[in-house]
Amino acid sequence: MYEPIKPWRDFADQVALLESRGLRIDDRERAEKYLRRIGYYRLSGYFHVFRQWDETNQKLLDDFIESSHFESVLSLYLFDKKLRFLALDALERIEMAVRVDIVHTLGKYDPMAHKNPDCLHGNFTKKKNKSTDKTEHEMWLERFAELEKRAEKKNNPLVIHNMQKYGCLPIWAAGCLWDFGTMSWLYGGMKYQDKNQIAQKYGAVNGDIFAQWLDSLNDIRNIAAHHDRLWNINIHRSSAPITKDGYWKRVDSKRPFFYFCIMQSMLKVLCPGSLWADRFDRLLEEFPGNVPSRNISLNRFGLIENYKEWHLWQK
């Protein structure tokens, strides 16, 4: 049995509903403006940490914790928005650089290395998935074909030029069509020595660990690109913990801060003079304080105490 779908409410009614549940709203017109711009359902993910918890029945109630304020909810939303932008800024640079690493490493074997099974690991090109009866490489090629068709429909000059001149897309052109997920998927299918060579550049123990990093960072990228809540989520495809020093040992690999640390470690390789870490520090200072719920804490982000003393976050 399904519950009935909730009724449609005008924005003014949405404000009234929040007030009836105990959310303090000093400026109803301002609250309505943000509901029009952001949407009640999008903001609801930020309402959750302000709502009361029924310990007896182990469920979240509709009513808000006493002294909860709409402005605090809005501040949390805006903090998370800036956090997503910061992640995307780092991930764009990381994606471009790793893409070049893969293209440069495989291209030395064959300009069409991405389609040549001999250039990739046997588990990727020969081992069939029981449910699809296809190899990972065959499935990857299907995904790449979709990206090619999409680019052709948009009359992508890069595709038109290469197809007219060579009748194919060499790997250095093909790589320009990969999204983060397609790129990390192919990286996972490279030979061990090739994966390790790239992984060592960024300080990962080996190629398999670096593949985990890429998968997790791809999840972060998708969350950020689709405007989903980031600051307090559990990372679905979490990477193995890092134990190279005492600070790393304290960081939880299921929490977002772990991956901001990975971004920072990679940016220190790619852009040693980057001010990304300074921007990260300034953003954390904007995290809403003086809120009534213990759930609204950077502990939920995974932040560790005295992280600024860690050499990773110092210039």
Express each pLDDT in 270-315 by its tens digit. 999 999 999 999 999 999 988 888 889 999 999 999 999 999 999 8
pLDDT at 25 (0 to 100): 98
Please check whether residue 190 lies inside any domain of the structure: yes
Q: Rounded to the nearest 5°, which phi and psi values hold at 53?
A: -110, 130
Q: Give the end of a domain, one of 68, 85, 106.
A: 68
* Pairwise CA distance, residues 129 & 274, whole Å: 42
User: Do residue 197 and residue 49 come from a single domain?
Assistant: no
User: Do residue 198 and residue 163 come from a single domain?
Assistant: yes
Please check whether residue 4 lies inside any domain of the structure: no
* Pairwise CA distance, residues 233 & 256, whole Å: 7
User: Do residue 305 and residue 165 come from a single domain?
Assistant: yes
Give the pLDDT confidence of 48-58 residue by residue, as tens digits: 999 999 999 99
Q: Which residue has the tokens 């995307």?
A: 88
Structural domains in the chain (count): 2
Band the pLDDT of 195: cuts 50, 70, 90: very high
pLDDT at 315 (0 to 100): 81
User: Do residue 174 and residue 38 come from a single domain?
Assistant: no
Average pLDDT over residues 15-40: 97
User: Do residue 221 and residue 101 come from a single domain?
Assistant: yes
Residue 1 has pLDDT above 90, yes or no: no
Please check whether residue 277 lies inside any domain of the structure: yes
pLDDT at 292 (0 to 100): 84
Q: Give the end of a domain, one of 22, 48, 68.
A: 68
User: Do residue 46 and residue 181 come from a single domain?
Assistant: no
pLDDT > 70 in the chain, percent: 100
Give Cα 274 distance to the centre of its chain.
Answer: 20
Q: Rounded to the nearest 5°, which phi and psi values hold at 24?
A: -75, 125
pLDDT > 90 in the chain, percent: 97
User: Do residue 212 and residue 308 come from a single domain?
Assistant: yes
Average pLDDT, the chain: 96
User: Do residue 130 and residue 105 come from a single domain?
Assistant: yes
pLDDT at 167 (0 to 100): 96
- Cβ atoms 299, 305 nearer than 8 A: no
Please check whether residue 1 lies inside any domain of the structure: no
Residue 118 has pLDDT above 90, yes or no: yes
Instruction: Say whether 238 sits in a helix, a strand or coil.
Output: coil
Q: Which domain holds residue 112?
A: 76-313
Q: CA dist 63 to 27, 49, 277, Å? A: 20, 11, 38
User: Do residue 58 and residue 84 come from a single domain?
Assistant: no
User: Do residue 98 and residue 38 come from a single domain?
Assistant: no
Band the pLDDT of 71: cuts 50, 70, 90: very high
Q: Give the end of a domain, one of 47, 68, 89.
A: 68
Residue 156 has pLDDT above 90, yes or no: yes
Please check whether residue 233 lies inside any domain of the structure: yes
Count, in order, helices (H) and strands (E) of the chain: 14, 2
Residue 39 corresponds to which tokens in the numbers above? Answer: 């949407």
Residue 166 has pLDDT above 90, yes or no: yes
User: Do residue 167 and residue 279 come from a single domain?
Assistant: yes
User: Do residue 156 and residue 236 come from a single domain?
Assistant: yes
Please check whether residue 6 lies inside any domain of the structure: no
Average pLDDT over residues 11-38: 97
Please check whether residue 5 lies inside any domain of the structure: no
Q: Please tell me the pTM assigned to this model.
A: 0.95
Please check whether residue 136 lies inside any domain of the structure: yes
Band the pLDDT of 80: cuts 50, 70, 90: very high
